[in-house]
């Protein structure tokens, strides 16, 4: 949809379309809706990022806790959001061997015990192998560093989800004309 169509959406329709750009956090697009009219995709993304940045650390951790475990029980039970299901499928987590599932569950448990929220990474930008390597690496972070890193990953996920919903801003015809 183009930005004019986005700006014309009612509050309810906006939430229906954008309610899961931040996993299971419809309050964020609800708050961002008040900033209409948006100038483009990047404007929506900036408002979401600013909202997240304005949250206290507990609010940021709340966002992280809304994310499912990678290759976790929700994936195997079919309880993931459509977006998360597709992202985990693209990263190769829907066809793991039993030993890989066991290893991911163990690492997810260790990560949550250490940080208090699930491991978050933009699965669409990584392979299964990259994700496993990154999870092991990030287990060595302190809580503040990891919270910051995980929120950065949330923003990457959001940007990709937004780009699936909103047409990219067209180039300015004045700038592209040849004199």
Using CA atoms, how far residue 158 sits from 16, 74, 153, 171, 178, in Å, is 15, 20, 9, 23, 36
Active site residues: 67
Q: Are 38 and 6 in contact (CB under 8 A)?
A: yes
Q: Is the peptide bond before 161 cis (omega within 30 degrees of 0)?
A: no
* Rounded distance between C-alpha atoms, residue 102 and residue 96, angstroms: 10
What residues contact residue 4 under an 8 Å CB cut-off, 6+ apart? none
């Amino acid at each position: 949809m183009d930005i004019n169509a986005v700006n014309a959406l009612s509050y309810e329709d906006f939430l229906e379309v954008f309610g899961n750009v931040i996993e299971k956090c419809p309050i964020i697009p609800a708050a961002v809706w008040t900033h209409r009219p948006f100038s483009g995709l990047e404007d929506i993304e900036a408002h979401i990022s600013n909202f997240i940045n304005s949250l206290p650390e507990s609010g940021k951790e709340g966002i992280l806790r809304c994310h499912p475990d990678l290759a976790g029980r929700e994936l195997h039970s079919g309880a993931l959001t459509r977006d998360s299901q597709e992202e985990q499928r693209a990263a190769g987590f829907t066809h793991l061997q039993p030993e890989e599932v066991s290893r991911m569950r163990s690492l997810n448990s260790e990560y949550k015990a250490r940080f208090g929220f699930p491991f978050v990474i933009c699965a669409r930008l990584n392979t299964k192998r990259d994700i496993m390597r990154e999870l092991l690496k990030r287990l060595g972070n302190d809580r503040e560093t990891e919270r910051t890193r995980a929120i950065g990953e949330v923003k990457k996920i959001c940007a990709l989800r937004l780009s699936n919903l909103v047409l990219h801003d067209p180039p300015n015809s004045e700038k592209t004309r040849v004199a």
